């Protein structure tokens, strides 16, 4: 330095000279944090490497680990029973509904809706219905009853990455209950499906969400996207989409509406839920029975016979004095019920004695 404080030529030359020490400031790794995320990429060697076979969980239904799938249906269509029977099949290695081969693995049921008693009771009845001893499951079936961490909580992804590790199937019952602060009518709702899809990519899990659907109508526009309740982003986010629906006293119809992996859909099929009598308990077991597509079509003759049986059962119980009372207990189409009772009276199967409908002996 000169006397007046300005740098002299020797000092400037020293500062301009290259340093023997490497400058590592730009190379220093930056710690990953929520405010400083990093994105991993793959290059041509990885992109064009030969792909292994798809690790199917249920190949017949197009279900495999990765992006989540959804089973959507309105209340009492049986979607939870369907999912629980799927979990039991995966955990036991038994064919699903006696038809679809499954890859045995560990199954986890995240129950945000039913509660402890109903979830456990249904697993016990389903196991009894297929003659499965729970001890044969080893450690392969787990349930988390009313988990304290929701998918819309800030730490959800870390929590579920740890929770799902080691499970090949994860059932989420249901999307609405698992993300209670989410607006299902907004496209933002897919972030919670994507969250578990990201986790599934790391854990090798198949995630199956249960969700509600709108009741189908004859002229419903928009197809499956509009049948799934809420934003169409729910449909878009999922690899496979199944719609389940049922009418009173008829089997549940299962419609395969999307298969992102194979690009082809399976034909509609049916499921019937039957009580299995064991000992003196007529409801000890519960069986899910697969129906072929042709078994879903109930002929008008069969439907008439079913209605007639219900009407006669009501009248045999006695104290039926009006057609309104019959309809209140039978349900269905009022005009069809009234017409059937009239026909039964004309043919002598039913008579009206002392203002009461009675079935002929």
Q: Residues 161, 81: one domain?
A: yes
**Which residue range is the domain that position 140 belongs to?**
59-296
Counting residues of the chain whose pLDDT is more than 70, the rounded percentage is 85
Q: Residues 259, 354: one domain?
A: no
Q: Residues 241, 127: one domain?
A: yes
Q: Residues 339, 241: one domain?
A: no
pLDDT in tens, 46-90: 999 999 999 999 999 999 999 999 999 988 889 999 999 999 999
Q: Is residue 38 part of a domain?
A: no
Q: Is residue 16 part of a domain?
A: no
Q: Residues 255, 334: one domain?
A: no
Question: What is the reported pLDDT for 33?
Answer: 57
Q: Residues 80, 227: one domain?
A: yes
- The rounded distance, in Å, linking the Cα atoms of 180 and 145 is 16
Question: What is the reported pLDDT for 353?
Answer: 82
Six token digits for residue 19: 């340093």
- In 3D space, the residue among 271, 276, 296 whose CA is nearest the CA of residue 287 turns out to be 276
- The rounded distance, in Å, linking the Cα atoms of 279 and 70 is 37
- pLDDT exceeds 80 at position 303: no
Q: Rounded mean pLDDT of the chain?
A: 87
- The rounded distance, in Å, linking the Cα atoms of 90 and 109 is 12
Boundary-marking domain end, from 264, 296, 328: 296
Question: What is the reported pLDDT for 167?
Answer: 98
Whether the CB-CB separation of 250 and 298 falls below 8 Å is answered with yes
- Return the CATH number at 213: 3.40.50.300
Q: Residues 270, 354: one domain?
A: no
- Return the CATH number at 304: 1.10.10.10
Q: Average pLDDT of 256-260? A: 96
| 70-106 core/surface letters (b: 16 or more CB in 10 A; e: else) | bbbbbeebbbbbbbbbbbbbbbbebebbeebebbebb
- pLDDT exceeds 50 at position 11: no
Q: Average pLDDT of 241-268? A: 92
Q: How many domains does the chain have?
A: 2
- In 3D space, the residue among 26, 48, 66, 62 whose CA is nearest the CA of residue 206 turns out to be 66
Q: Residues 119, 259: one domain?
A: yes
Q: Is residue 214 part of a domain?
A: yes
- The rounded distance, in Å, linking the Cα atoms of 306 and 300 is 10
Q: Residues 340, 264: one domain?
A: no
């Amino acid at each position: 330095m000169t006397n007046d404080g300005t740098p002299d030529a020797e000092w400037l030359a020293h500062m301009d000279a290259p340093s023997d020490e490497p400058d590592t400031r730009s190379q220093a790794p930056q710690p990953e944090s929520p405010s400083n995320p990093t994105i991993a990429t793959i290059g041509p060697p990885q992109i064009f490497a030969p792909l292994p076979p798809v690790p199917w969980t249920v190949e017949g239904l197009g279900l495999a680990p990765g992006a989540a799938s959804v089973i959507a249906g309105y209340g009492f269509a049986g979607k939870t029973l369907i999912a629980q029977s799927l979990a039991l099949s995966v955990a036991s290695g038994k064919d699903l509904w006696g038809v679809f081969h499954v890859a045995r693995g560990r199954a986890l049921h995240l129950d945000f809706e039913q509660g402890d008693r109903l979830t456990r009771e249904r697993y016990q009845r389903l196991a009894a219905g297929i003659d499965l001893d729970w001890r044969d499951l080893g450690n392969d079936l787990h349930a988390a009853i009313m988990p304290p961490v929701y998918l819309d909580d800030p730490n959800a992804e870390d929590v579920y990455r740890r929770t799902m590790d080691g499970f090949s199937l994860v059932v989420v019952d249901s999307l609405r209950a698992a993300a209670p602060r989410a607006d299902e009518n907004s496209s933002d709702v897919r972030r919670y499906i994507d969250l578990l899809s990201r986790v599934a990519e790391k854990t090798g899990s198949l995630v199956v969400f249960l969700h509600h659907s709108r009741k189908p109508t004859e002229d419903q526009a928009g197809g499956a996207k509009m049948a799934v309740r809420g934003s169409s982003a729910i449909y878009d986010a999922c690899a496979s989409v199944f719609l389940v629906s049922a009418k009173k006293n008829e089997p549940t119809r299962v419609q395969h509406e999307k298969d992102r992996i194979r690009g082809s859909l399976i034909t509609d099929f049916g499921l019937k839920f039957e009580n299995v009598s064991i000992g003196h308990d007529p409801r000890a077991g519960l069986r899910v029975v697969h129906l072929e597509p042709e078994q879903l079509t109930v002929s008008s003759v069969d439907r008439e016979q079913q209605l007639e049986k219900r009407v006669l059962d009501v009248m045999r119980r006695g104290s039926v004095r009006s057609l309104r009372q019959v309809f209140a207990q039978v349900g269905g189409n009022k005009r069809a019920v009234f017409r059937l009772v009239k026909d039964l009276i004309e043919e002598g199967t039913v008579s009206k004695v002392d203002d009461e409908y009675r079935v002929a002996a």
